[in-house]
Amino acid sequence: MIRRIKAAGRVEDGTQDAALTETVKGLLGKVESGGDAAVRELANRFDGLDRASYRLTPAEIAGCVDRLTTRQRDDIEFAQAQVRNFAQAQRAALKDIEVETLPGVVLGHKNIPVANVGCYVPGGKYPLLASAHMSVLTAKVAGCDRVITCAPPFNGEIAPLIVAAQHLAGADEIYCLGGVQAIAAMAFGTETIASVDMLAGPGNAYVAEAKRLLFGRVGIDLFAGPTEVLVIADETVDGEICATDLLGQAEHGANSPAILLTTSESLGRNTIREVERLLEILPTGEIARKAWEDYGEVIVCDTVDELVLEADRIASEHVQVMTADPQYFLDRMTNYGSLFLGVRTTVAYGDKVIGTNHTLPTKKAARYTGGLWVGKFLKTCTYQRVRTDEASVAIGEYCSRLCIMEGFVGHAEQANVRIRRFGRQNVPYGAAAD
């Protein structure tokens, strides 16, 4: 039996905010029609930054890199090395194939990098330089020719840590530009910004909605909403560590769900007490408290199998497993963005440094997709080759009959003309081959 000893104060109905959508549509239209002038107007209005060009010069980029302390640069380069190493391992697992499926019939596929990628790196509230590693580096490992980045100013100025991270990750062009205007500029292109084929990277509700509306005109990595965390724990851990892992993600925003799923009611109640204690000393406690009050839950299950079923129902972005047997969940869970197995790891490791990508599915999207990875920047494209006349005729006879079954005479004739030429058979026009 599943029971809640703390329920969420608010329940999202899953509908899209119509007012937000209309606002974003208007901003996208302004940039599409107005180009650089519209970008400049919106950057002034929303970010308070006025520049003739929002592309940073080599001197500005070098200045940001030079401002890093030795420790800061070492830390950024260590994190980027981990992300790069794992992305390279993932890329190596993706193979081009070619196989002869019938005598004379060769089928294959190639993994082709997306040519032009635009990466958004959020930074208006916090300078989230880790997002530069996750998007830019991953696209570069995939082999994308041109990877450009947009990040908003921080406190009205160029964000030096983000710029340095973007540069060290390999960005080809770096823009100090945020919000919908950045997404629109990359997608539509302007007089000075060449358009991209794909957008990647997280952002606020306006950025996410802009990506949603632009999907189809350009590709996107995935639809991402507020950060989520699900902690699955039993009596092998205590309330302090559970509360710490819940609040560590709740501080992202007031609408970030943080859920504890446990077989121990005692642990659940202890975690609730620890959350209250830690909120009094956490510098971001005001935001985290709002998230906990509105979207925090503590759910108690009777069995481990119930934990698995409930976790798959929740389909959380981040799932931290701290139980006697974390492997049990890896073997059985199917709906999650990323799993953090055991008390020795934590979501923050994945967010910042361990190497797996932190751009992950939210709002139950883990039911049908994983997160950002090197494969998102690759197009798996098929090809076919028929090497012999005999093979063309053999396939063509089946094709002709199948097309006539569907009423597609023009399709059938594509097969029939080859049967006549390569098989020297007299198939009447518009008829099925024998």
Domains belonging to the chain, first-starting first, are: 16-94+110-221 (3.40.50.1980), 226-371 (3.40.50.1980), 388-423 (no CATH)
Using a 10 angstrom Cβ sphere, with 0-12 exposed, 13-18 middle and 19 or more buried, the burial of residue 146 is middle
Using a 10 angstrom Cβ sphere, with 0-12 exposed, 13-18 middle and 19 or more buried, the burial of residue 159 is buried
pLDDT at 11: 78
Ordered strands of the 116-120 beta sheet: 173-176, 146-151, 116-120, 198-200, 219-220
Question: How is residue 134 annotated by DSSP?
Answer: I
Q: Which of 164, 216, 184, 174 is nearest to 42 (CA)?
A: 184
Q: Report helix, strand or coil for 102.
A: strand
Q: Which amino acid is at 72?
A: Q
pLDDT at 14: 63
Burial 293-302 (b: 16+ CB within 10 A, else e): ebbbbbbbbe
Q: What is the pTM of this model?
A: 0.93
* Residue 69, both tokens: 């302390």
**Rounded-to-integer distance, Cα 419 and Cα 400, Å:** 9
Strand partners, 218: 215
Question: How is residue 9 annotated by DSSP?
Answer: S
What are the start-end ranges of the E strands in 78-217?
97-102, 105-113, 116-120, 146-151, 173-176, 198-200
User: Cα–chain-centroid distance for residue 260?
Assistant: 24
pLDDT at 17: 86
* Residue 121, both tokens: 């790196």
Active site residues: 317-318
Q: Report helix, strand or coil for 401.
A: helix
* Residue 81, both tokens: 């090395």
Q: What is the pLDDT along the chain (434 residues), one digit of tens a residue?
A: 899 999 998 877 666 789 999 999 999 999 999 999 999 999 999 999 999 999 999 999 999 999 999 999 999 999 999 999 999 999 999 999 999 999 999 999 999 999 999 999 998 777 888 999 999 999 999 999 999 999 999 888 999 999 999 999 999 999 999 999 999 999 999 999 999 999 999 999 999 999 999 999 999 999 878 999 999 999 999 999 999 999 999 999 999 999 999 999 999 999 999 999 999 999 999 999 999 999 999 999 999 999 999 999 999 999 999 999 999 999 999 999 999 999 999 999 999 999 999 999 999 999 999 999 999 999 999 999 999 999 999 999 999 999 999 999 999 999 999 999 999 999 999 999 99
> Is residue 131 within 8 Å of residue 357, measured between CB atoms?
no
Burial 25-47 (b: 16+ CB within 10 A, else e): eebbebbbeebbebbbebbeebb
**In the block, which residue shows the tokens 């196989």?**
99
Q: What stretch of H or E contains 85? A: helix 70-93
> Is residue 313 within 8 Å of residue 364, measured between CB atoms?
no
Q: Which amino acid is at 156?
A: G
> Is residue 328 within 8 Å of residue 244, measured between CB atoms?
no
